[in-house]
Amino acid sequence: MVQMLLHCYVEIREKSEGAQFMFCKHRDCGKTSCLICLRDCPTFEQGYEVNEYEEYEDNIDEMEHHFICATLKNEKQIFDTAMEKGQKVACPGCGLAGMKDDACTHMTCPNCQTSWCYFCGLKEQECDKALPIDEKEITISDHNVDWERNPKRCPMYLTVIQDVDLSWPENEDECLEYFHRNRSLRLLRETYETLGEEKFRQLNKQFGIIGTCGFSMHDIKYADLTLIDYDSDSQGGEEDLFDEETEKEIITDDDDEIVKTANSDEEKEMSPAKKMRESSPETATQTTLSAEAYAMYP
């Protein structure tokens, strides 16, 4: 596996699933790192002086922190996988994943040549399609027919969704951001429901996942994940659908407290999407993610 530690770039071949620490032998590094939180670990030397005892105690506390990392390793991997999958879509044929460019939602995998829909993630053969009115061959374009009224169909371009659902933006880049924000939240909600609230609290206390993932607990637990609202009468923008005046989610530990309040005036930032684009004509009816783009998402 490839890891970017906080102090250097490394490539690691794990010989044991239980591996947690790595000692870097690079002459400019020489640090021992935790492979779960990716932070460096303290070093211990023999013969501590009396005036260094406080430093020794601090190092012991920090190592105990890393041992807790080991107890949450599997849960952390589940969370990290959800975050990673939220920013890309995998080919249903071979699993190679990436982010599309600004062309249409018709995809062709450069690895296995599978034709599929980026919006629903299904192979062309599995997509719901309109029946032809003549003898013409059925293609993936028939999957786009009447998408405005048929939830089993998908739009050919993300920018046209705004004609039906005003919460979607008009700009292609903003549409892609909106799509992956929804996808990320959906996967994080599934992760939350799988792990349970207590494990989420432990992950946040140990790794600060809420502060670094780009979403609040309110988003993860309660945000409306309707991808296209076919009965939309909104005027654009995201709205919280709550009857209560205030909904508070509090995550507490020994040292701090995170409070997220629904219906507050705080600005909600969208999670950053990775801009993996390959230029292609606006008029293209088929998108092929480049091997270079895919290679960055093995």
Among the listed ranges 50-54, 58-62, 145-149, 267-271, which one has the minimum average pLDDT value?
267-271
Cβ–Cβ under 8 Å, residues 209 and 192:
no
The residue that leads in pLDDT, 286 or 104, is 104
Contact 186/194 with Cβ under 8 angstroms?
no
Phi, psi at residue 19, to the nearest 5°? -60, 130
pLDDT in tens, 94-122: 999 999 998 999 999 999 999 999 999 99
- 162: nearest Cα among 150, 179, 141, 181: 179
Please tell me whether residue 43 adopts helix, strand or coil conformation. Answer: coil
Structure token digits, residue 292? 């270079």
pLDDT band at 3 (very low <50, low <70, confident <90, very high): low
pLDDT tens, 257-275? Answer: 443 433 444 444 444 443 3
| 3-state secondary structure (DSSP) of residue 128 | coil
Residues 5-20 have a mean pLDDT of 59
| Cα dihedral across residues 160, 162, 165, 168: positive or negative | positive
40 beta partners:
33
Question: Could you give the CA distance from residue 45 to residue 23 in angstroms, rounded to a whole number?
Answer: 16
> Closest by alpha carbon to 67, among 13, 31, 21?
21
Question: Cα dihedral sign for 189, 270, 273, 173?
Answer: positive
Give CA–CA dist 120/253, Å, rounded: 39
Tell whether the model's pLDDT for residue 182 goes beyond 60.
Answer: yes
- Ordered by start, the domain boundaries in the chain are 2-60, 89-227
The Cα 11–Cα 55 span in angstroms is 31
Would the pLDDT of 16 be above 80? no
* CB-based contact 170:162 (threshold 8 Å): yes
CB 262 within 8 A of CB 240: yes
**Range scoring the smallest mean pLDDT among 46-50, 130-134, 234-238:** 234-238
Confidence at 29, pLDDT banded by 50, 70, 90: confident
CB atoms within 10 A of CB 225: 11
Q: Which helix (H) or strand (E) holds 90?
A: strand 89-90
